[in-house]
Amino acid sequence: MGWLKAYDPGSYPPFAVTVDLVLLTVQQEELSALVIKRAEPPFKGRWALPGGFVRPEEDLSAAAERELTEETGLSGEMVHLEQLASYGTPDRDPRMRVVTVAYLALTPNLPVPTAGGDAAYARWSPVGELLEVPRRLAFDHHRILSDGLERARAKLEYSPLGTGFCQPEFTVAELRQVYEIVWGTPLDPRNFHRKVTGAPGFLTATGQTTTRNGGRPAQLYRRGDTSVLYPPILRREPEPFV
Amino acid sequence: MGWLKAYDPGSYPPFAVTVDLVLLTVQQEELSALVIKRAEPPFKGRWALPGGFVRPEEDLSAAAERELTEETGLSGEMVHLEQLASYGTPDRDPRMRVVTVAYLALTPNLPVPTAGGDAAYARWSPVGELLEVPRRLAFDHHRILSDGLERARAKLEYSPLGTGFCQPEFTVAELRQVYEIVWGTPLDPRNFHRKVTGAPGFLTATGQTTTRNGGRPAQLYRRGDTSVLYPPILRREPEPFV
DNA sequence: CCAAAAGTGTTCTTACTACACCCATGG
DNA sequence: CCATGGGTGTAGTAAGAACACTTTTGG
């Protein structure tokens, strides 16, 4: 009631729809997110997640991939880009009613982006610093980044997406460091090794070895072909679920 | 890069934003979803998920709760209503560009809804029938319902939300039947009993018993106060994660 | 007494933790 | 030859699966 009437074309309240990206990477022993310096009000001079309007004939996921490519040069086939959640509080943008659909991607260590030719335009910032203070980020991006972080942490348990943080070829120790940084917990190297090499389809050995981390040469692996990790790599204490 | 310029107020492409609800319940040994018969084109006469426009000053979750109350009489405090995902393919509604934010709720067995006074307006339909054929539901609601079903199944493993399908006071066997119906797998009654009574905070005993299911009297329980199930109640073979 | 459902106990197996120990390189 | 990290072996423990068995009602 009211539904059918309101659903009449031409009589609906207009919204702006954007996509925002939570792009995470691991660099210098820290988990970082890509942020953009806002050049215009509102929140002029503050950092914000990259994002932009969905175009009139564009799918949501296509808009997210386009933004990803614009900001990082990565294509949608190269990284796993997944929908995170949508945010639409009426006052989240002071200018107009905006609903944003947030996407999450875990990317390998990239060169510092300089889209727009402005060195101060975009940068990777440690997630810990960005979330330290609730209002450090523009709009409701603190919330979005928090949600993205929690999703990324959970994904590492049950999916092989942690490899997305690594170079195409990586050692078990490099992968373990990713887990340790994202979860903020030390993991037993020996048990971790057994778990990841034992999970079918997670890793495929290249046959090559490397000594780039010192010590005995380590096997190099590539990401395997599975999308599920079984058995999962579990954190000690699971976080609240909802 | 186009972003700042396009983000200028007044120059954004207008969208309609709706919320759609995946309301699931268990009745007569079947998992069912609430569907509405469409009275107007497009998809006139077809079944669709309940939903409607987000109002100009309304939060997304508030819109979902309002729709929930309109369709079922349930309030947002009574049931757990969670955001599922957003869908915005350009051609998903032939009349205009619509982005919908889907919400999921697991509800107890309710009387057949008759909102609008029309008995044919809304009903509970078995999910299996609704998903049998890809185009049985209007718009992209097949996809949305599939996603909601998969989310509900996953939720039962790690959260106590399965109790949402039960009456306020229920027996372990009644809860087990919910799991069996949602997952489509038989579960060992004895091991299930141990798991759910052993998971801290999942169930609180009322001290009452009932013989309404025949046999030896069974303890009655209420939903406990935890939001995480540890240890989880696992299905045999986990589904692909992404 | 018997059927039916509730609930407990027991055994086997899997997977995790912790940690001892050996391996292969660079310096 | 030794420091460093890579990798395997093993013992103890937590939790799941399968299933025998006891308990308590209704008829």
What are the Cα distances from residue B36, in Å, to A14, A49, A237? Answer: 25, 38, 42
Determine the 3-state secondary structure of B137 from DSSP.
Answer: strand
A103 touches chain B (CB under 8 A): no
Band of residue B132 on the pLDDT scale cut at 50, 70, 90: very high
- The candidate with the shortest Cα–Cα distance to A87, out of B60, B63, B19, is B60
The tens digit of pLDDT for each residue in A47-91 reads 999 999 999 999 999 999 999 999 888 888 889 999 999 999 999
Average pLDDT for B18-26: 97
The tens digit of pLDDT for each residue in A90-117 reads 999 999 999 999 999 999 987 766 555 4
**Min CA distance, A139 vs chain B (Å)?**
14
Q: What is the largest CA-CA distance in chain A?
A: 71
Determine the 3-state secondary structure of A136 from DSSP.
Answer: coil
- The candidate with the shortest Cα–Cα distance to A163, out of A71, A217, A72, A225, is A225
End-to-end alpha-carbon separation of chain A, Å? 31
**Min CA distance, A133 vs chain B (Å)?**
24
Q: What is the pLDDT of residue A238?
A: 44
A104 touches chain B (CB under 8 A): no
Band of residue B118 on the pLDDT scale cut at 50, 70, 90: low
The tens digit of pLDDT for each residue in B76-89 reads 888 999 999 999 99
Question: Taking 70 as the threshold, does the pLDDT of residue B92 lie above it?
Answer: yes
Could you say which residues of chain A have pLDDT below 50? 1-9, 117, 119, 238-242
* CB of A104 closer than 8 Å to CB of A151: yes
Question: Taking 80 as the threshold, does the pLDDT of residue B241 lie above it?
Answer: no
Q: What is the pLDDT of residue B237?
A: 57
Residue B211, nucleotide of least CA–C1' distance: D25
A94 touches chain B (CB under 8 A): no
What are the Cα distances from residue A21, in Å, to A8, A83, B60, B160, B217? Answer: 33, 9, 20, 31, 55
Beta-carbon separation of A240 and B228 below 8 A: yes
Beta-carbon separation of B13 and A99 below 8 A: no
List CB contacts (< 8 A) between B6 and chain A. Answer: 52-53
For the beta carbon of residue B105, count every other beta carbon within 10 angstroms.
26
**Strand D contacted by B216 CB (< 7 A):** yes
- A–B interface: beta-carbon pairs under 8 A: 150
A35 touches chain B (CB under 8 A): no
Which residues 124-163 in chain B show a CB within 8 A of chain A? 155, 158-159, 161
Burial of A34 (0-12, 13-18, 19+ CB in 10 A): buried
Half-sphere exposure of A10 (CA within 13 A, CB side): 0
Chain A residue with the nearest C-alpha to that of B102? A86
Chain A residue with the nearest C-alpha to that of B158? A241
Q: In angstroms, rounded to a whole number, what is the distance separating the alpha carbons of residues B223 and B168?
A: 7
**Strand D contacted by B116 CB (< 7 A):** no
**Strand D contacted by A236 CB (< 7 A):** no
| 3-class SS letters over A183-211 | HCCCCCHHHHHHHHHHCCCCEEEEEEEEC
CA geometry: angle B28, B33, B34, nearest 5 deg: 110
Supply the mean pLDDT for chain A.
Answer: 90
- The candidate with the shortest Cα–Cα distance to B141, out of B39, B31, B47, B37, is B47
DSSP B17: E
Separation in Å: C7 C1' and A196 CA: 39
By C-alpha to C1' distance, D4 is nearest to: A215
Q: In angstroms, rounded to a whole number, what is the distance separating the alpha carbons of residues A135 and A131?
A: 8
Report which of residues B97 and A114 the model is more confident about: B97
Average pLDDT for B208-235: 94
By C-alpha to C1' distance, D6 is nearest to: A216
A224 touches chain B (CB under 8 A): no
Determine the 3-state secondary structure of A134 from DSSP.
Answer: coil
Separation in Å: D26 C1' and B92 CA: 56
Radius of gyration of chain A, Cα coordinates, nearest whole angstrom: 20
Average pLDDT for B26-43: 92
Question: CA B50: distance to chain centroid?
Answer: 12
- The candidate with the shortest Cα–Cα distance to A83, out of B143, B26, B229, is B143
Supply the mean pLDDT for chain B.
Answer: 90
Band of residue B5 on the pLDDT scale cut at 50, 70, 90: very low
Q: In angstroms, rounded to a whole number, what is the distance separating the alpha carbons of residues A12 and B17?
A: 8
Question: Taking 90 as the threshold, does the pLDDT of residue B18 lie above it?
Answer: yes
* CB of A103 closer than 8 Å to CB of A86: no
Average pLDDT for B175-203: 96
**Min CA distance, B216 vs chain A (Å)?**
35
Q: What is the pLDDT of residue B142?
A: 98
Beta-carbon separation of A1 and B53 below 8 A: no
DSSP B86: E
Residue with the two structure tokens 């490397």: A210
